[in-house]
Amino acid sequence: MADLFTHILVGYTLAIVLSWRYEWISYPFVTAVMIGSTLPDLNRIDLLLPEETMTALLGLPFTWSPLHRVGGTLLIVCIGALVVPNAYRCVVFALLSVGAGSHYVLDFLLYKPSGITSPLLWPFVTHGFAVNGFYLSSDRWPIVAATVLAGLVWVVDRRWMHTGHPDT
């Protein structure tokens, strides 16, 4: 999935650049941003557990769609923050949110034939926005651009920034 990999690379790039400004963002926290950038795509669990199967198992109407909305992602971010030690909860919450936010920024830039985005900000805003979009989800240039940018940031981080990250 080039789309998912693009989100991860953008999360990595964003986290490393933030680590230049905020020294407390170490590589484990960079990973938290990268994980956060994948959280909105948890709705793709439908590929393993189709909604029809879940409806049959639960006996109730069921959909995975809210996981790709801000409300569902916020719930997952809260759960993610609860599984770390108390000392790191606020930091992990913030960094998972930064990663998820980068995911939504990229999703708002997707071209939709209707010109209207899906209601990604649900439950806070229940309608889509008129956005022309810059790329299709099937385009390959975003993954190439994200890879080049992540590579450049990696080189700058290793060679010139000397952020104190261990060479692992």
The answer to whether residue 61 sits within a structural domain is: yes
Q: Distance between CA atoms of 29 and 16, rounded to whole angstroms? A: 10
Q: pTM of the full predicted structure?
A: 0.90
Q: What is the mean pLDDT of the chain?
A: 91
The answer to whether residue 112 sits within a structural domain is: yes
Range list of H helices, 22-140 = 27-36, 51-58, 70-82, 89-108
The answer to whether residue 56 sits within a structural domain is: yes
pLDDT digits (tens, 9 = 90+) for 28-78: 999 999 999 999 999 999 999 999 999 999 999 999 999 999 999 999 999
Q: Domain range holding 23? A: 2-161
The answer to whether residue 123 sits within a structural domain is: yes
- Residue 159 identity: R
The answer to whether residue 22 sits within a structural domain is: yes
- 115 phi, psi to nearest 5 deg: 80, 0
Percent of the chain's residues with pLDDT above 90? 73
pLDDT grade for 162, boundaries at 50, 70 and 90:
low
Question: What pLDDT, on a 0 to 100 scale, did the predictor assign at position 12?
Answer: 98
The answer to whether residue 28 sits within a structural domain is: yes
The answer to whether residue 149 sits within a structural domain is: yes
The answer to whether residue 167 sits within a structural domain is: no
Domain count, the chain: 1
Mean pLDDT over 16-23 rounds to: 95
The radius of gyration of the chain from alpha carbons, rounded to an integer in Å, stands at: 17
pLDDT grade for 2, boundaries at 50, 70 and 90:
low
